[in-house]
Amino acid sequence: MSKLKSILKVVIPLLLGVVLVWYSLSQISISKLIQYFKDADYFWIVIGVICGVLSHLSRAYRWLFIAEPLGYNPKLVNSFMSVYSAYLINLTIPRAGEVARASILANYENIPFEKGFGTIVAERVADTIMLLLVVALAFVLKFEFIYSFFAGKFNSSTLIIGASVGVVFVVLLYVIIIRSGSKIALKIKEFIGGLIEGALSVFKMKKKWPFIFHTIFIWVMYLLMFYITTFALPEIEHIPLAAILIGFILASFSIAATNGGIGSFPEAVVIAFGLFSIAEDPSRAFGWIMWSTQTLIIIILGGVSLIYLPIYNRKKAGI
């Protein structure tokens, strides 16, 4: 049974990705998509790529602050290459990158696997909190837009009833989860507890402020990467901030849906931009340009990292 689960975890995201790629490409002609790629301003695409690389470099450097309290002083080069190797592996097997990254650090930095994996989980907690903050920011900055959007589809009494039912549902769910001893409830409690513990543990670190700075920098670079790349297509270069934030949020979630967001990333962008009446073709083209360029960099730097890791560490060892 466990073997079947493992197979399904790999196969389902791949199949979903294939279906979404087929669907996405069925909504726009290949020739038109190619034309968008040809007409794009690659100056802005390159700037976006640089922002992406800087975010991953910052991620590699941030990890050093987590490793230090454990008594380890890993090399930045190994940390950087492990990050890109993990991203590359995630393109083939979902969430296998984190395990591979911990294995790389165990092999080349002599950090026990379980400790290395624990630090990576702590990073994920910090990133989850940042994503939730971006969601909150989008809601606060564009509350009127979000309210007017839903008010246009539902009347005010329906919205009030829906909101009330939602609040009651959340409170009841919280009470049930707290009191329940089921496996699902325990996992949810463990996840929430991990978020809180991970957030509080940052303030116990010796270099907590550099860690916080790099965490913010990573997500600022992510947002800039998304925002700057919109300048590559004239049709969407003047889209509102709300569209950028909501597009970024949906695109971020899409990466978890399929391997590296294949197929799901462009369609998430189309859904987000569609809320602002932005045409589907340039939205879908932007999604493909954004996803393709970032994935290409991951393939190149991830591939080079996997090849160069043993060479670099053999040289350092003087072999």
Return phi, psi of residue 237, to 5°: -70, -15
Other beta carbons within 10 Å of 176: 11
Mean pLDDT computed over every residue of the chain: 82
Other beta carbons within 10 Å of 236: 22
Task: Look at residue 238 in the predicted model and tell me its pLDDT.
Answer: 83
Instruction: Indicate the residue type of 184.
Output: I
In this structure, are residues 89 and 305 in contact, taking their beta carbons and an 8 Å threshold?
no
Task: Look at residue 292 in the predicted model and tell me its pLDDT.
Answer: 94
Instruction: Indicate the residue type of 306.
Output: L
DSSP 8-state symbol, 162: H
Give me the residues of the chain with pLDDT under 70, please.
1-10, 142-182, 185, 188-204, 316-319
Q: How far is it, in rounded angstroms, from Cα 15 to Cα 105?
A: 31
* Nearest alpha carbon to residue 291 among 54, 91, 99, 85: 91
Other beta carbons within 10 Å of 196: 11
Task: Look at residue 36 in the predicted model and tell me its pLDDT.
Answer: 93
Report the percentage of the chain scoring pLDDT > 70: 76
Q: What is the largest CA-CA distance in the chain?
A: 74
Q: Where are the alpha helices (DSSP H) in 73-155?
A: 76-90, 96-109, 113-141, 143-153
Handedness of CA 6, 8, 12, 18 (dihedral sign): positive
